[in-house]
Amino acid sequence: MNTGLQTTCAEQFESVGNGLLVRAPAKINLSLLVAGKRADGFHEIETIMAKVTWYDEILIEPNPKAGLELICEGPQWSPAGAENLVYRAAELLMKSCGRRANIKIALTKNIPAGTGLGSASSDAAATLIGLNKYLGLELPLSRLAELAAQLGSDVAFFLDGPLALCSGKGEKIKKLFQNSNFLALLILADVTVSTERVYANYRPDPALYQRLRKQINGYIEKNRIDLASKMCANMLQTTCFSLLKELAELKAKVESLGIGPVCLSGSGTSMFCLVPDCDRQTATAYSRKLKENVGCKNIIVSNNRW
């Protein structure tokens, strides 16, 4: 990936020969509130998630061999076979429909895993949507959402969008229709951390949760997602930074350049800075500053249309 790469919104589907190309966008958490553990062991969360214009690609084609085959390629590593959510999503969908099809799926992995950008969940959702279209199954979104819930908490968000308030363990989706155009500089640290490790070390703060929740929901009611975003409210940030000191140091370095505030996305290691007035010239200047003074990878993204 080139430092400072600027991305634009691409189409979700594209015909390639006798196959179907499906794009799977990354996401950022414009806010993330985390309460205590539920009875099922998951934490109760409330988060505004937004798809952005950076994509993995999934190509679905007929397989000359019998059965399901998954090929992983691209600049980022991804597990092959049944360990991959793409494979599991395809297998689950066809099993649930009682269908057998000789399908080859090629996953081009551009978005790194373990960075809070939701790449594996997005890949799984794109697989469900893509196979539903490619095989002519005509399953409703509600049925795809039931399957998504079996694959992971964030998968259902990626079935629709592009902006939603997600709650429960992440599977309860309330689509937001406000005009929420933004431009952001994604800052990609060369470190990863598992979601499980971050949540295992998280200590809830009920009073802070309720205070932030009241403020953010007030902004949502007023159709001011932009003001909620500017709060940079991520309750996992302190835990993540305590586990990865170099990430906290990177945030401080970036903000010392006049680029900020810098927000953590999800439970991972990617951070982002919203660019004032969606000004691409400013975004390019921020990116250049990072390259010259810090040297970390970065990419300029905007909100996704779908």
Query: Would you please indicate which residues are annotated as catalytic (active-site) residues?
Result: 27, 154
Provide DSSP, 144-201.
HHHHHHTT-TTGGGGGS-SEEEEEETTTEEEE--S----EEEEEE-S----HHHHHHH
CA–CA separation, 58 and 20 (whole Å): 8
The label of the residue with tokens 């360990």 reads 83
Q: Give the number of other CB atoms < 10 A from CB of residue 222.
A: 11
Tokens of 122: 């997005």
76 contacts 110 by C-beta, under 8 angstroms = yes
184 contacts 302 by C-beta, under 8 angstroms = yes
Mutual angle of helices 85-97 and 141-149, in 10-degree steps: 130
The label of the residue with tokens 């090629």 reads 106
CA–CA separation, 125 and 149 (whole Å): 10
Tell me which residue of 49, 62, 53, 50 sits closest to 11, measured CA to CA: 53
Question: Strand pairing partners for 61?
Answer: 104
Asked if residue 276 has a cis previous peptide bond (ω within 30° of 0), the answer is: no
